[in-house]
Amino acid sequence: MSALLSVEELDVHHGLLHAVRAVSFEVTEGERVALVGANGAGKTTLLRAIAGAQRASGGRVVLDGEVITDLPTHQRVRTGIALVPEGRRLFPDLTVEENLLVAGRRRRDGPWNVDGVLEIFPMLTKLRARRASTLSGGEQQATAIGRALMTNPRLLLLDEVSLGLAPLAVDAVYECLGSVLGHAATVLLVEQDLARALAVADRVICLLEGRIVLDLPAAEVSREQVTEAYFGIRGRPA
Ligand SMILES: Nc1ncnc2c1ncn2[C@@H]1O[C@H](COP(=O)(O)OP(=O)(O)OP(=O)(O)O)[C@@H](O)[C@H]1O
């Protein structure tokens, strides 16, 4: 199958810091890829560069054959890329429904609407008219994922959906995410929790200091292998 997303020799700098170094990989339509790695490995920077929130200093991002490396974020949304950013970034003074509708203004044609999002995230139904600033972390995360879905993405980028949430809230968000994934979205997700990453993903990519050090099907990779890649520990010769 041809790739939905191709990342080709991508470089991203923060000033002098080379945060993403010649990263190349492809994601096929319908695939769920988990991006793991230690703090500072470059996961967020890579996701933001794919979404257009961070400028690449070299290489290309290609979505379904179209080179989008230089497109601004809002135009990438129209091509079908949606990012759920770290920290959720909702409009605090808008209600849940308004947050969803604002995102929907830039939507591609497709099945998602407010009712569809509320069906997937039942916890939001009662909160529809509540201001985002009054929601719990888990409720905000659900709204942020719903907001991304409202654009009818072909590729959903999720950055650390569990960050800062209580364990029960993480369970609730992941339970709903299961339904989202059931709708055949193509997903690239950053997740610190290895067990969760391996449970939801078809494939795991591990970054170390801006480079890919492991890229394997989730079913074929052991926790030990990922942990070693994560910390840059080389296997000892037998
Ligand atoms: N806006 C910025 N300005 C300067 N340096 C940055 C900026 N954002 C990230 N960095 C640096 O770039 C490197 C990669 O950071 P990034 O946030 O992409 O890593 P990460 O793997 O997502 O880590 P974390 O899990 O901590 O979010 C780190 O060294 C970080 O300090």
Q: For residue 210, report the distance from its CA to the centre of ligand 1, in Å.
A: 10
Task: Kindly give the distance from the C-alpha atom of residue 11 to the centroid of ligand 1, in angstroms, as a whole number.
Answer: 14
Across 44-48, average pLDDT: 96
Q: Which of 129, 124, 125 is nearest to 140 (CA)?
A: 124
What secondary structure letter does DSSP report for 135? S
Predicted confidence at residue 74, as pLDDT, reads 83
In the chain, count of helices (H) and strands (E)?
Answer: 8, 10
The predicted structure's pLDDT at residue 224:
86
Q: CA-CA distance, 61 to 6, in Å (whole number)?
A: 6
Q: What is the ipTM of this complex?
A: 0.94
Domain layout of the chain by residue ranges: 30-59+68-231
Ligand 1 centroid – CA 42 distance (Å): 6
| pLDDT tens readout for residues 52-100 | 999 999 999 999 999 999 998 888 888 899 999 887 789 999 999 999 9
Residue-wise pLDDT for 11-31, tens only, equals: 999 999 999 999 999 999 999
Position 101 pLDDT exceeds 70: yes
Please, what is the average pLDDT of the chain?
89
Predicted pLDDT at 100: 93
Say whether pLDDT at 171 is over 60: yes
Pick the more confident residue, 22 or 163. Answer: 22
- Ligand 1 pocket, CB under 6 A: 14, 17, 19, 37, 39-45
Decide if pLDDT at 238 tops 60: no
Q: What is the DSSP annotation of 73-127?
A: HHHHHHHTEEEE-TT----TTSBHHHHHHHHHTTPPSSS--HHHHHHH-GGGGGG
Interval between CA 41 and ligand 1 midpoint (Å): 7
Q: Which residue has the higher pLDDT, 222 or 9?
A: 9
The pLDDT of residue 236 is above 60 = no
Q: What's the pLDDT at 8? A: 98
Instruction: Write out the two tokens for 113.
Output: 């609407």
Tokens 């020799």 correspond to what residue? 9
Cβ neighbours for 229, distance < 8 A, ≥ 6 positions apart: 206, 208, 213, 214
Q: Which of the listed CATH numbers 1.20.120.1200, 3.40.50.1970, 3.40.50.300, 3.40.50.11540 matches domain 30-59+68-231?
A: 3.40.50.300
pTM: 0.92
Q: Nearest CA to 142 among 126, 160, 123, 128?
A: 123
Ligand 1 atom nearest residue 15's Cα? 4
Share of the chain above pLDDT 70, in %: 97
